[in-house]
């Protein structure tokens, strides 16, 4: 029985060699080959091209910055294309298409980079040094996740919530300008030029508080408006 089996194997081998050219083992159809397809056309900084993305069946995964994730990681994490497209564990305030150093994910901005997304809403990016409660430093300035500074808080140091380049916080010299605020609004109701008057000089009719000052300015505006109607009549 043993001799018969050996003879059969020998015959099969001999016949195969007689009718077909031998193929190298790696060319045989039964050998499993890895798919060489790459997930991204170019993979430089921010990618790990050695990782297999099983969700889409290709090579290469994006490294997502930890702050752009909701998982609490402290280092960049490789994330598959399907999870990125679905937003799985991705912070909705971050754009994972933008490279941030050696990983992807920067906070979304708008209005020429002066507003940043926080919890799905856009808040002002303040120029450096204005905020007392800085939660995050960005390329163009600082943001706070909580309550935004009021007009009164800003005016105390001569600032108003006006765009100053790519951040908010324009300075007005308080000896030349009066910043009028209205309640807890962030933006001032108006900014009044003092025309070089010495606001520290004493006067018998000088306003003693902001309310009195507003009345004086309202009166001045009313007189100016009436004079304009007299001398600048419409033709």
Q: Is the whole model's pTM more than 0.85, yes or no?
A: no
Calpha distance 202→95 (Å, rounded): 56
| Phi, psi angles (nearest 5°) of residue 139 | -60, -40
Nearest to 151 by CA among 138, 162, 160: 160
Q: Average pLDDT of 76-96?
A: 96
pLDDT category of residue 18 using cuts at 50, 70 and 90? very low
C-alpha distance across the termini of the chain, in Å: 125
Q: Report pLDDT for 232.
A: 59
Looking at the predicted structure, is the pLDDT value of residue 158 above 70?
Answer: yes
Residues 111-150 have pLDDT tens digits of: 999 999 999 999 999 999 999 999 999 999 999 999 999 9
| Phi, psi angles (nearest 5°) of residue 58 | -155, 170
Please give the structure tokens belonging to residue 147: 């309550």
Supply angle C-alpha 151, 155, 161, rounded to 5: 50
| Phi, psi angles (nearest 5°) of residue 130 | -90, -45
Q: Report pLDDT for 163.
A: 94
Ordered strands of the 109-110 beta sheet: 109-110, 115-118, 121-124
Residues 213-229 have pLDDT tens digits of: 777 777 777 777 776 66
Over the chain, what is the mean pLDDT? Answer: 83
């Amino acid at each position: 029985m043993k001799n018969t089996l050996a003879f059969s194997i020998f015959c099969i081998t001999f016949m195969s060699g007689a009718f077909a050219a031998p193929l190298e083992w790696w060319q045989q159809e039964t050998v499993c080959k890895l798919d060489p397809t790459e997930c991204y056309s170019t993979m430089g900084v921010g990618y790990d091209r050695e990782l297999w993305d099983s969700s889409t069946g290709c090579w290469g995964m994006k490294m997502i910055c930890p702050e752009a994730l909701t998982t609490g990681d402290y280092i960049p994490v490789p994330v598959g294309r399907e999870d990125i497209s679905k937003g799985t564990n991705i912070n909705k305030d971050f754009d994972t298409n933008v490279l941030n150093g050696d990983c992807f994910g920067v906070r979304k901005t708008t209005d020429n980079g002066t507003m940043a997304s926080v919890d799905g809403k856009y808040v002002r990016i303040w120029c450096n040094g204005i905020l007392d409660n800085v939660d995050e430093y960005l390329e163009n300035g600082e943001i706070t996740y909580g309550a935004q500074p009021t007009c009164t808080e800003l005016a105390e140091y001569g600032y108003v919530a006006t765009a100053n380049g790519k951040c908010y916080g324009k300075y007005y010299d308080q000896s030349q300008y009066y910043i009028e605020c209205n309640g807890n609004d962030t933006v001032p109701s108006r900014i009044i030029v003092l025309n070089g008057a010495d606001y520290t000089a004493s006067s018998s009719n000088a306003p003693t508080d902001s309310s009195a000052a507003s009345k004086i300015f309202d009166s001045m505006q009313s007189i100016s408006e009436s004079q304009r109607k007299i001398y600048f009549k419409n033709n």
